Amino acid sequence: MRKILNLILLTITLGLIVTACGGNNTANTAKPESSAADEPAANEPVKNEKLIIYTNANSDGRGEWLIEQAKAAGFEIELVGAGGADATARLIAEKSNPVADVVFGLNNMLYESLKKENVLVKYVPAWAGEVEEGLNDPEGYYHGLVKQAILLGYNPTSYTAETAPKDWTDLYNNPEFHGKYEAPTLLGQVTPRLVVAGILTRYRDEKGEYGISQAGWDEIKKLYDNGVGAIEGEDFYANLASGKTPLGTVVSGTLDAKEEQYGVKAGTVSPEVGVPMIVEQAAIINGTKKMETAERFIEWIGSSEVQGKFAAQFNSMPANTKAVAQANDAVRELYSSLKAQALEWGFIADHIGDWVEKIELQIMK
Amino acid sequence: MITFKDIQIKFGDFHAIKNLNLNIKKGEFFTFLGPSGCGKTTILRSLVGFIKPSSGQILLSDRDITDVSIENRGISMVFQSYALFPTLNVYENIAFGLRVKKISKSEIDREVRDIAQKVDLKEAQLSKKVSELSGGQQQRVAIARALVLKPSILALDEPLSNLDAQLRVQLRNELKNLQKKFGITTIYVTHDQEEALTLSDRIAVFNNGIVEQVGTPQEIYNRSQSEFVCNFIGDINKIDAEVIQNSQLKNFIDPYKTAYIRNEKVSLSALPQHKDVVQLKGKIVDQEFYGLYTKYLIEVAGGGCLKTIEKDNGFDDNKVGDEIDFYINANDILQY
Amino acid sequence: MKATKIRTAGSPVNGSAFILYGLIAWFVITFLIYPNINVYYEIFFSDGNFSFEAVNKLLSSDRAMRSLYNSFILAISLMVTVNIVGVALVLIVDYFDIKGAKILRLGYFTTLIYSGVVLVSGYKFVYGESGYMTKLFANLFPSFDTTWFHGYWAVLFVMTFACTSNHVLFLSNAIRKIDFQTVEAAKNMGGSTFYILWRVVLPVLKPTMFALTILLFLTGLAATSAPLILGGTEFQTITPMILTFSKSLASRDLAALLALILGLSTLVLLTIMIRFEKNGNFISVSKVKSVLVKQKINSKIGNIAVHLIAYFLFLIYIIPVLLIVIFSFTDAQSISTATLNISRFTFDNYIQVFSSMAAFKPYLVSILYAAGASIAVVALALTASRILHKYKNKWTNFLEYSLLIPWMLPSTLIAIGLIVTYSTPKMLIGNTVLVGTVWMLFLAYVIIHIPFTLRMVKASFFSLDNNLEDAAKNLGAKPFYTFRKVLLPIILPSTLAVLALNFNGILADYDLTVFLYHPLYQPLGIVIKNSTDAQAVADTKALTLVYSVILMIISAVILYFVYGRKSKS
């Protein structure tokens, strides 16, 4: 007993010392590390330091695959996975002491926020021209990798292509669908935000509240009034499959896996106005000490070769037109029937926070 | 050996000790006696070092220890609750102070066993948890723990107050014997006058932050210098005005003072004829049998009551209802 | 009061103590006061002048007002219901002579090993739309509404049973310290079992219950998972809204304002409770305490009733845990429909978790963080408690209230405060940048666990006999030696319990961690969330349960080491 006690005491004392001197210790330990990484590199002709890369697209084996491929191409990378909104928040928080060198994944809206916060550095890779038009940042800060469509899905036993809604607006304008669809209530996440943006941006009005006309707000109110709230921790696809809530948002890239899990293949809707097409992008972090390596990595990851391989492996839809050929047939077919909704990401990024706040406070019940 | 010089202790507006001057001799068993809240524990704690006096000096063998830290005063204290360390066993409790001094293990062991034997703690008890001991044994541990450091002074704060009556008497004697055996200067705090009288070489009676009287038990008892002291020590009669008015006592008593007489000084048997002896009449109205003696309540003829005690002589010659004569030596009357 | 002053006078402050006090002061200013003031300043004054816009926004929002109202209703309801259930549990396990009390205790302890979304989903397996109870009711009464389990009552039900952890730990400690002679005395005077309970036993538990009630109020205000999942549209609370707002730059002022409202109401309650505590604290007067003997319930009917209640509660507690474990071996389909089918049993989930997480690192990172931070926070709380115990003046009052600051802010705002403040070099921390270092998360874990730890450690500190310290001092021991050898061993059991609770709380934390973790040292909570994110396409439902089961096992092991062994001895 006494030994245990002494041990605990020792640790407590150490803990105290550590807490007390935390600030100083950090200074002492952090510095040699970074300088050690810097100095020898300065003498070498080709810089090839380990890159720290933030992404939200590393789950389901994508991360492991990429690390392996990168290694084969001579890159040493460390992937830091986080949800899109969280990764963005981190990057902004760390902007005066950046940890990351490169960010990929996320979506245009989040990249717009990053750009606005001065987190990104301008770099136009050689493959920028191969990317489908309108997907890259025209200012050259970020460039497209993978396309994801945010779709309105339906349960195929409850509805047919004919009886299903034709657009998001049908959900609340047609009483038949009232109470049958999931309203995008979990506004902390990115996808529900994009659904909202997809509807609101149709009612742009510089004089309206937060750039949206009153008609737009009325529409959004109807969307929330007539839908079923999403529930934290529940997988919407389960409700779609069981028919409990047969209509709602699905993300294109996950459809196959969900179908496999729940045994139901959701039907998808192609509205005339198009669907919010989010594009995973790649960019270099402002303040990286490994600029040269980061540039080479961006060149590599966005190349049609890598994106093609990736698409074949993970059923994704590449943004790089030269890589599309290697994508899965079903995926290509899906995307050929889809039209990208024209969205101005900068405008959305500027206003989405206010929109969410207004919806949370005044529109949702 | 110990000198308190003009000591004042204040807690905010409260004067716990008002200008105390006191000398305690080497080897003395000295008692601070008084009711609760009189300042006796406060002065003890200031001697041990837990309280710094607001003004004045404490001298120990002519050395000023007022600002000396607790551990450097060489005074060991036994607490009212004993304050034994519940997570340490008996041995560890006794060894605690030695460990602090970084004495070698073997020497600690020798000292601990030695003192344990002296205070009559059995070998088997050393490995016990303190919570497994009886109250008396706990007290022995507390004393052993204090004495093992060979202090020049032992300070005891009501160490017997947690014990039952029989054990108190028994341990009182042990305490006295121990003190004699070690010859150690002992300061003893109590509110129990019997304890004070039986144990002490000298007593200081405290009241409201001042010392009313310092003296031997006999002096304190027989020649109480204040009304408070005479009331606090022993059972005493306050002589009612009627009793004085209706008897010769009025010749001896200053009418502007309050008169007292100890119970045992009211005698049922005749005292030798003397100009100072006053005879009174009365009736026994109540009696309490204590074994060694009997206490009687006498209703004095003409009004007033007095208590007296008589040694039990086996004849049972005084009963409730008896009309009796009784005697008082006017020199035994205390007037304040 | 008198005693504290005496002590002040008697303890000269030495050099090393000064350094220690200096360090505490530095910590409080640097990590509790400055960042939080800074974040409020940035939020409300960033454009140079204060605006009331946030207040207007909130006042004009029915939803915000209703959510706020609901949060208070929930907090107040929980103060009542959890105390009732918690006291019942403690009586069953520690006071009454109930057959099988040891097994019952295990059941009642389950809340210590899981919480949040996982716990609520466990209850949904039982009472949710396709849960077992619901199916049973639906069979018995064909007209039974299967969507019955939502709204205020559902949230209250789940949270009432989920929030008894502190009761089973700390209240049972208190009940074991009851002087049994008082119970015997009451019996001797003819008190019935329940009369004695009411008049003799419960009053002794009152101080502990006061302390726990403050925690309940906080828990109620901060409720997230249960209202989100079970509240339905009619019973949403404010904390999820605060979380959403605090993550969005545009709405941080609202988050901060809402947090301020909750914080101030907590402060009011805390002040009231501290006052109550001061007036109502009583120490057992008996000198010779005797050990509590479990009470047989004399009335036969009463005895049967209490046994029935005991086992009924046991079932309420144990079934959700069992279902989580069982369902972790199934797939998403089974989980979302709450049906068990032997053909759908699989070990794939576990294989997947352990193969993709072959890297043991996240576990190691989380365990190190949890251990380091929980030990540091306990050390800090011990030091602070000792100061609070030794001195009583305006500085210690200031210290005590400062250390309670983290209770008044949601952890996300504390995280933001740290980020905003320490993303640039600051003099206070030797001109270094904390953002992007491993210390950031460590500090945050320490900070948010200070108030709870302090409350608990302080309580045990103040129950110590002052004479022990004096005695040790008199025997020549230096303060630190006294602390180490005499005081700490006495308060160690309750301190270790707090340590274990903190450890388990940190282990799987996500909300705070996500803001601050070092990218190269990802804790478990982050890894779990990432691999079970909506973005991920694997069987995320099942994986979540697998991770939960693993966390439950780690937590249970920790608790066993701290608690199981102690209760045996």
C13 inside 8 A of chain B by CB: no
Average pLDDT over residues C52-78: 89
Set of chain C residues whose Cβ sits within 8 Å of the Cβ of B86? 490
Query: What are C82-135's pLDDT values in tens digits?
Result: 999 999 999 999 888 999 998 999 999 999 888 877 888 888 888 988 888 888
Enclosing domain of residue A67: 51-147+279-327
Of C392, C474, C490, which to mutate for an interface test with B (greatest number of B Cβ within 10 Å)?
C474
Residue A334 resides in a domain: no
Of C337, C503, C537, C561, which to mutate for an interface test with A (greatest number of A Cβ within 10 Å)?
C537
C486 inside 8 A of chain B by CB: yes
Confidence band of C426 (pLDDT split at 50, 70, 90): confident
Average pLDDT value for chain C? 82
Asked whether the beta carbons of A157 and A330 are under 8 A apart, the reply is no
Asked whether the beta carbons of C240 and C224 are under 8 A apart, the reply is yes
Separation in Å, CA of C9 to nearest CA in chain B: 6
More confidently predicted of B267 and C188: B267
* Same domain membership, residue A291 and residue A237: no
Asked whether the beta carbons of B269 and B315 are under 8 A apart, the reply is no
Q: Which chains touch C (3 or more CB pairs under 8 A)?
A: A, B
Residue A37 resides in a domain: no
C305 inside 8 A of chain B by CB: no
Asked whether the beta carbons of C538 and C349 are under 8 A apart, the reply is no
Q: What are C497's two structure tokens?
A: 């319990």
β A182-183/A143-154 pair status: unpaired
Nearest to C430 among A12, A27, A78 (CB): A27
Residue A312 resides in a domain: yes
Q: Do residue B70 and residue C2 have CB atoms under 8 angstroms apart?
A: no
Scan for tokens 């009940």, then name that residue: C175
Bridge partners (DSSP) listed for residue A148: A278
Residue A39 resides in a domain: no
Set of chain B residues whose Cβ sits within 8 Å of the Cβ of C14? none
Which chain B residue shows the shortest CA-CA distance from C14?
Answer: B69
Q: Do residue C474 and residue B75 have CB atoms under 8 angstroms apart?
A: yes
Which chain A residue shows the shortest CA-CA distance from C22?
Answer: A20
Q: What are C137's two structure tokens?
A: 């009711």
Nearest to B55 by CA among C16, C486, A103, C9: C9
pLDDT at C277: 66
Nearest to C6 among B11, B75, B86 (CB): B11
pLDDT at A15: 44
Q: Which residues contact C101 (CB under 8 A, 6 or more apart)?
A: C92, C93, C294, C310
The ipTM, to two decimals, is 0.77
Helix (H, G, I), strand (E, B) or coil at B279: strand
Q: Enumerate domains of chain B plus CATH numbers.
A: 2-232 (3.40.50.300), 236-335 (2.40.50.140)
pLDDT at B31: 94
Q: Do residue B77 and residue C474 have CB atoms under 8 angstroms apart?
A: yes
Of B84, B89, B100, B145, which to mutate for an interface test with C (greatest number of C Cβ within 10 Å)?
B100
Average pLDDT over residues C391-411: 85
Set of chain C residues whose Cβ sits within 8 Å of the Cβ of A148? none
Query: What are C273-325's pLDDT values in tens digits?
Result: 777 766 655 444 444 456 677 888 878 898 999 999 999 999 999 999 998 89
C477 inside 8 A of chain B by CB: yes
* Same domain membership, residue A242 and residue A139: no
Helix (H, G, I), strand (E, B) or coil at B4: strand
Average pLDDT over residues C440-445: 93
Q: For residue B88, what is the DSSP state?
A: S
Which chain B residue shows the shortest CA-CA distance from C465?
Answer: B83
Asked whether the beta carbons of A242 and C339 are under 8 A apart, the reply is no
Judged on CB neighbours under 10 Å (0-12, 13-18, 19+), C381 is buried
Separation in Å, CA of B221 to nearest CA in chain C: 32
Of C26, C65, C248, which to mutate for an interface test with A (greatest number of A Cβ within 10 Å)?
C248
* Same domain membership, residue A249 and residue A356: yes
What's the rounded Cα separation, in Å, for the pair C385 and C459?
9
* Same domain membership, residue A296 and residue A188: no
* Same domain membership, residue A76 and residue A64: yes
How many Cβ pairs closer than 8 A exist between chain A and C? 218
What's the rounded Cα separation, in Å, for the pair C372 and C369?
5
Residue A102 resides in a domain: yes
Average pLDDT over residues C241-247: 80
pLDDT at C131: 84
Nearest to B336 by CA among B213, B172, B179, B209: B213
b (16+ CB within 10 A) / e for C424-456:
eebebbeebbbbbbbbbbbbbbbbbbbbbbbbb
Nearest to A60 among C63, C333, C537 (CB): C537
Query: What are C492-539's pLDDT values in tens digits?
Result: 877 888 898 899 888 878 778 877 888 778 888 877 776 665 555 556
Q: Do residue A361 and residue C254 have CB atoms under 8 angstroms apart?
A: yes
The count of residues in chain B is: 336
Q: What is the dihedral of CA C483, C485, C486, C491, to 10 degrees?
A: 80
Q: Do residue C375 and residue A12 have CB atoms under 8 angstroms apart?
A: yes
* Same domain membership, residue A193 and residue A62: no
| A219 phi, psi to nearest 5 deg | -60, -50
What's the rounded Cα separation, in Å, for the pair C203 and A4?
36
Q: Do residue C332 and residue A235 have CB atoms under 8 angstroms apart?
A: yes
Confidence band of C565 (pLDDT split at 50, 70, 90): low
Asked whether the beta carbons of A81 and A75 are under 8 A apart, the reply is no
What's the rounded Cα separation, in Å, for the pair B289 and A292?
109
Separation in Å, CA of C181 to nearest CA in chain B: 16
Separation in Å, CA of B83 to nearest CA in chain C: 5
Q: Which chains touch A (3 or more CB pairs under 8 A)?
A: C
Chain CA centroid to CA C254, Å? 26
Nearest to C477 among B77, B83, B100 (CB): B100
What's the rounded Cα separation, in Å, for the pair A157 and A263?
12
Of A221, A232, A316, which to mutate for an interface test with C (greatest number of C Cβ within 10 Å)?
A232
Q: What are A116's two structure tokens?
A: 């606005």
Q: Which of the residues in chain A have pLDDT under 50?
A: 1-5, 7-44
What's the rounded Cα separation, in Å, for the pair B275 and B277?
6
* Same domain membership, residue A56 and residue A128: yes
What's the rounded Cα separation, in Å, for the pair B109 and B267?
59
pLDDT at B202: 95
pLDDT at C166: 87
Which chain C residue shows the shortest CA-CA distance from A105?
Answer: C535
* Same domain membership, residue A198 and residue A92: no
Domain containing residue A181: CATH number = 3.40.190.10
Separation in Å, CA of A129 to nearest CA in chain C: 28
Bridge partners (DSSP) listed for residue A146: A280, A318
Helix (H, G, I), strand (E, B) or coil at A121: strand
Nearest to C473 among B70, B80, B87 (CB): B70
Q: Is the pLDDT of residue C160 over 80?
A: yes
Separation in Å, CA of A68 to nearest CA in chain C: 14
Which class would CATH give C63-242+312-327?
mainly alpha
Asked whether the beta carbons of B58 and B115 are under 8 A apart, the reply is no
Set of chain C residues whose Cβ sits within 8 Å of the Cβ of B83? 465, 467-468, 470-471
A287 inside 8 A of chain C by CB: no
Nearest to C468 among B42, B50, B83 (CB): B83
C474 inside 8 A of chain B by CB: yes
Q: What are C270's two structure tokens?
A: 């805390």
Q: What are A363's two structure tokens?
A: 């529109």
A231 inside 8 A of chain C by CB: yes
Nearest to C333 among A18, A83, A262 (CB): A262
Q: What is the dihedral of CA C47, C52, C57, C62, to 10 degrees?
A: 160
pLDDT at A17: 42
What's the rounded Cα separation, in Å, for the pair B22 and B43?
11
| C192 phi, psi to nearest 5 deg | -80, 165
pLDDT at C566: 52
What's the rounded Cα separation, in Å, for the pair A350 and A309?
35
* Same domain membership, residue A108 and residue A225: no
Residue A333 resides in a domain: no
pLDDT at A127: 93
Asked whether the beta carbons of A153 and A165 are under 8 A apart, the reply is no
Q: Which residues contact C380 (CB under 8 A, 6 or more apart)?
A: A16, A19, C24, C27, C446, C450, C453
> In chain C, what are the domain boundaries?
63-242+312-327
Percentage of chain C modeled with pLDDT above 90: 20
* Same domain membership, residue A272 and residue A155: yes
Nearest to B12 among C5, C465, C471 (CB): C5
Nearest to A362 among C27, C61, C432 (CB): C61
Q: What are B275's two structure tokens?
A: 């100009």
Q: Which residues contact C548 (CB under 8 A, 6 or more apart)?
A: C114, C118, C324, C328
Residue type for position C31: F
Nearest to A231 by CA among A245, A219, A242, A217: A245
Q: Which residues contact B102 (CB under 8 A, 6 or more apart)?
A: none
Set of chain C residues whose Cβ sits within 8 Å of the Cβ of A13? 379
Bridge partners (DSSP) listed for residue A332: none
Which chain C residue shows the shortest CA-CA distance from B92?
Answer: C485
Q: Is the pLDDT of residue C12 over 60?
A: no
How many structural domains does chain A have? 2
Separation in Å, CA of A231 to nearest CA in chain C: 6
Query: What are A128-138's pLDDT values in tens digits?
Result: 999 988 888 98
| A104 phi, psi to nearest 5 deg | -140, 165
Asked whether the beta carbons of A142 and A55 are under 8 A apart, the reply is no
**Along the 336 residues of chain B, how does pLDDT read in single tens digits?**
899 999 999 988 888 898 899 999 999 999 999 998 888 999 999 999 888 899 999 999 889 999 888 888 889 999 888 888 888 889 999 999 888 888 899 999 999 999 998 888 888 999 988 888 888 888 889 989 988 988 889 999 988 887 777 778 888 888 888 888 888 899 999 998 888 999 999 999 999 989 999 999 999 998 888 989 988 888 888 888 888 888 888 888 888 888 899 888 888 888 888 888 888 889 999 988 888 888 999 998 888 889 998 887 777 778 888 888 899 998 888 888
pLDDT at C5: 39
How many Cβ pairs closer than 8 A exist between chain B and C? 86
Q: Do residue C471 and residue B77 have CB atoms under 8 angstroms apart?
A: yes
Task: Provide the whole-model pTM.
Answer: 0.76
What's the rounded Cα separation, in Å, for the pair B17 and B71?
24
Set of chain B residues whose Cβ sits within 8 Å of the Cβ of C390? none
Q: Do residue A22 and residue C336 have CB atoms under 8 angstroms apart?
A: no
